[in-house]
Structure 1
Amino acid sequence: MSDEFATLAQSPLTPSEHAFAVTPDDVVALPTIPKYLYVGTGGSIALRTKDASADVSFLNVPDGGYLYVRAEFVRASGTTATDIVACA
């Protein structure tokens, strides 16, 4: 299959090329820092962004919502949203 965009560099503004399911964990970091998170079933998400020194909570994220943050961790404690997909 040809890829007309194969020679273009990736940036935070280009579409993601890799997606993976997120299992919230209080200790284990995400395997790759994504460009954004897709939230299938809404709720709260506790996370720590890349290079941050403290966690932050996003409350009342709707079903089918997007969080345009570069999360290093998605914490189990404080996260009630489910069906989270990271897009890197």
Structure 2
Amino acid sequence: MVDRFQAHAASMEGPATHGFAITPSDAADLSEVTRAIYVGGAGNLAVRLLSGADVTFAAVSAGTVLPIRALRVLTASTATNLVGLS
């Protein structure tokens, strides 16, 4: 497969190159820090950001991509089908 952008450096403004399913946990960090989180099912998204701050994004619509650097998704989240993008 041809990757026409292979020689270009990855940047925070560029598209994600990896994705992984997220299972909320109050005790365990994600396998890697996200550059964004895709929300497949509407609800609240409670996260611990890279800064260490815990925040809740209320009433996130299904299909939303939040450009956030998250360490952890907390169990207070009601949003579903979460995908971490990096």
Q: By the TM > 0.5 criterion, same fold?
A: yes
Q: Residue 23 of structure 2 aligns to which amino acid in structure 1?
A: T
Identical aligned residues as a percent: 38
Unpaired stretches in structure 2, ≥5 consecutive residues: none
Q: TM-score, normalised by structure 1?
A: 0.92
Deviating beyond 2 angstroms after TM superposition, the runs of 4 or more aligned structure 1 residues are none
Instruction: Name the amino acid aligned to 1:81.
Output: A
Q: Which amino acid aligns with 2:27?
A: V
- Inter-partner Cα distance in structure 2 for 1:68 and 1:6: 23
SS in 2 for 1:12: coil
> 1:25 maps to which residue?
25
1:6, distance to aligned residue in structure 2 (A): 0.8
Q: Distance in 2 between matches of 1:35 and 1:53?
A: 15
TM-score by length of 2: 0.94
Gap runs ≥5 in structure 1: none
